Structure 1
Amino acid sequence: MEYVVLNGEIIERDKAKIDVEDRGYQFGDGVYEVIRVYNGRMFTALEHLERLVSSAEKIGMKLGWPIEDLEKLFNSLIEKNQLGTGIVYMQVTRGTSPRSHAFPPAGVAQTLVAYTRDMQRPANNLANGVKTILAEDIRWLRCDIKSLNLLGNILAKQKAAEAGCYEALLHRGETVTEGSSSNIFIIKDGTVFTHPANNLILNGITRQTLEKLCVATGIPFVEKEFSVVDMLAADEIAVASTTTEIAAVVEVDGQPVGSGKPGPVSRKLQSLFEQEIERQCGKLAMNS
């Protein structure tokens, strides 16, 4: 039996129903988060839930559940579903109301949905790196909001999939922004560069964690715009996200990055990140 969360209650999945006029379904009017789970424990849960609150506020929603209650609820869901390694997905919409572009009247209840999914660590990508393509960033100008509106991301990801690649590296004109579902980092002369955390990218939780680890261990970390030319001339490229962790990019549009294998700084970042996971969640096994 699989269980999900619907509006603050844990129920059997086949009993969970959403109204066809829910604004998440009709307008993408909502926000979401994905939290990684290792050894049955959520990793960086507070950071993800704080970003959920922030994303909601940016679209004019005050989240209807306190962070502390959500954390307890999702821990209960993990236990109920006996999840070891995987994710918790959650989304909150502005609720159900007769279809109208303007916000519904005050008092309409938000809709909260969450579920768990088994998802092993990406062993092959971590060990061997990933292939990527370049793609124009056609998304809207509020990428800092983790909203349900992901069509631009989906189109880029599909383009990468059709090319036999893991990720699409997005750029607005000549400026590299982020991946279709990840943040991008380039390494040049031992320094890690990434796009500033403004409205053009999502300030990833893995990105934030990586910055803290770099600062703590003396690895230069610089938030600075860089061009496609800069990226292709880098010593190493890496992408990072909740489910990707930190993967070296070994190819862009069919051309090798550096030696065509994960580089030393990317390997160091992976090691530091794994140590942080183990600090929060206990000893890791690649396929546990």
Structure 2
Amino acid sequence: MTRTVYVNGEYLPETEATVSIFDRGFLMADGVYEVTTVLDGKLIDFDGHAKRLSRSLNELEMKEPCTQDELLEIHRKLVEANNVTEGLVYLQVTRGAADRDFAYPKDAEPTLVLFTQEKVLAQSPVAKTGISVISIPDIRWGRRDIKTVQLLYPSMGKMAAKAAGADDAWMVEDGSVTEGTSNNAYIVKDGVIITRNLSNDILHGITRAAVLRFAQEAQMQVEERPFTIEEAKAADEAFVTSATTFVMPVVKIDDAAIGTGEVGPIASRLREIYIEESRKAAL
């Protein structure tokens, strides 16, 4: 079935959707994006994603393409038009089309594109077995807190992981793990959940915020600080969080099994809580 997508005010069949070759997202990676989860046909954490989008746009001095209410309506219309019960809505805003120049154009209008993807999320079979990760150097730019479309190095990290027979990569800078290629990273030691503190070094994950809140409400102990790969290998559990994986257990890092080498109880419980509570609050 041909999907309906959204491009600059129009709902179109995906085969008819176009963006200018002069768009700065294409020429300069001058754009930001968000991914919002759909469960039971409803949106998870939409407000958090909308607020982070505004922050990213502000940090890059880009115009808001529409209001948050208008953005919510677009999301809902696409979910309905494509009959998505489980999956995601991808949103991308660029600075717009202009003659190629390193300086920002003064009069370009933002390009706004959204589309849906169906994907099994809540009952993902991988969540029962866990994933494996490798460690790679983090050589990205310094503003990882801005959710830009500059995703070449994370993509290279994914491919390096696949070449090594793993599922993903954790990036390491100055001896400590920053994050996964498309997720926030965590370890568990003696019942304490440890994850890197927020800064410009990592993305301020919307799922991360929700999971940490749920963990504290469940009387779990959380410590926000950097940790090393060596600490991770010696941990009792490890996991990642993102909008499309929720809480995903990690059972192997490089050549080392984590804990028993099987999915741990804290990651499993947090996944259950996250899915349950997110469904209750979905829009």
With structure 1 as the length reference, what TM-score do the two structures score?
A: 0.94
Is the CA contact (8 Å cut-off) linking 1:87 and 1:116 kept in structure 2? yes
Q: Distance in 1 between matches of 2:174 and 2:160?
A: 18
Trace 1:273-288 onto structure 2 (pairs within 5 A). 273-281=274-282
Q: Which secondary structure does the structure 1 equivalent of 2:247 belong to?
A: strand
Per-residue Cα deviation, 1:164-186 (whole angstroms, up to 9, x for no partner): 21110111031111001110011
Per-residue deviation at 1:274?
1.7
Per-residue deviation at 1:281?
4.1
Q: Which secondary structure does the structure 1 equivalent of 2:125 belong to?
A: helix
Per-residue deviation at 1:117?
0.9
Q: Distance in 2 between matches of 1:74 and 1:202?
A: 23
Trace 1:15-54 onto structure 2 (pairs within 5 A). 15-54=16-55
Q: Distance in 2 between matches of 1:8 and 1:207?
A: 31
Which stretches in structure 2 are left out of the alignment for 5+ residues?
A: none
Q: Distance in 2 between matches of 1:19 and 1:274?
A: 39
Q: Distance in 1 between matches of 2:188 and 2:56?
A: 30
Is the CA contact (8 Å cut-off) linking 2:63 and 2:95 kept in structure 1? no
Q: Distance in 2 between matches of 1:269 and 1:2?
A: 33
Which piece of structure 1 moves more, 219-228 or 174-183?
A: 219-228
Trace 1:9-20 onto structure 2 (pairs within 5 A). 9-20=10-21
Are 2:138 and 1:137 aligned?
yes
Matched AA of 2:117: R
Are 2:177 and 1:176 aligned?
yes
Matched AA of 1:278: R
Q: Distance in 2 between matches of 1:31 and 1:274?
A: 26
Tell me the residue number matched to 1:124: 125
Per-residue Cα deviation, 1:122-161 (whole angstroms, up to 9, x for no partner): 6222111111111111111100010011111111111011
Q: Distance in 1 between matches of 2:50 and 2:172?
A: 28
Which stretches in structure 1 are left out of the alignment for 5+ residues?
A: 283-288
Is the CA contact (8 Å cut-off) linking 2:23 and 2:94 kept in structure 1? yes
Which piece of structure 1 moves more, 253-262 or 91-100?
A: 253-262
Matched AA of 1:152: Y
Is the CA contact (8 Å cut-off) linking 2:40 and 2:86 kept in structure 1? yes
Per-residue deviation at 1:64?
2.2
Per-residue deviation at 1:248?
1.0
Which piece of structure 1 moves more, 23-32 or 153-162?
A: 153-162
Tell me the residue number matched to 2:7: 6
Identity over aligned residues, as a percent? 34
Is the CA contact (8 Å cut-off) linking 2:184 and 2:240 kept in structure 1? yes
Per-residue deviation at 1:268?
1.4
Is the CA contact (8 Å cut-off) linking 1:86 and 1:120 kept in structure 2? yes
Is the CA contact (8 Å cut-off) linking 1:136 and 1:173 kept in structure 2? no
Per-residue Cα deviation, 1:43-73 (whole angstroms, up to 9, x for no partner): 1111111111111111111312111110011
Alpha carbon RMSD of aligned pairs, Å? 1.3
Matched AA of 1:43: I
Q: Distance in 2 between matches of 1:62 and 1:108?
A: 9
Matched AA of 1:96: A
Q: Distance in 1 between matches of 2:165 and 2:63?
A: 41
Per-residue Cα deviation, 1:6-56 (whole angstroms, up to 9, x for no partner): 112212222211110100000000100011101111111111111111111
Q: Distance in 2 between matches of 1:85 and 1:158?
A: 26
Q: Distance in 2 between matches of 1:230 and 1:253?
A: 13
Tell me the residue number matched to 1:81: 82
Matched AA of 2:77: S
Tell me the residue number matched to 1:108: 108
Is the CA contact (8 Å cut-off) linking 1:53 and 1:62 kept in structure 2? no
Matched AA of 2:112: L
Q: Distance in 1 between matches of 2:174 and 2:165?
A: 24
Q: Which secondary structure does the structure 2 equivalent of 1:60 belong to?
A: coil
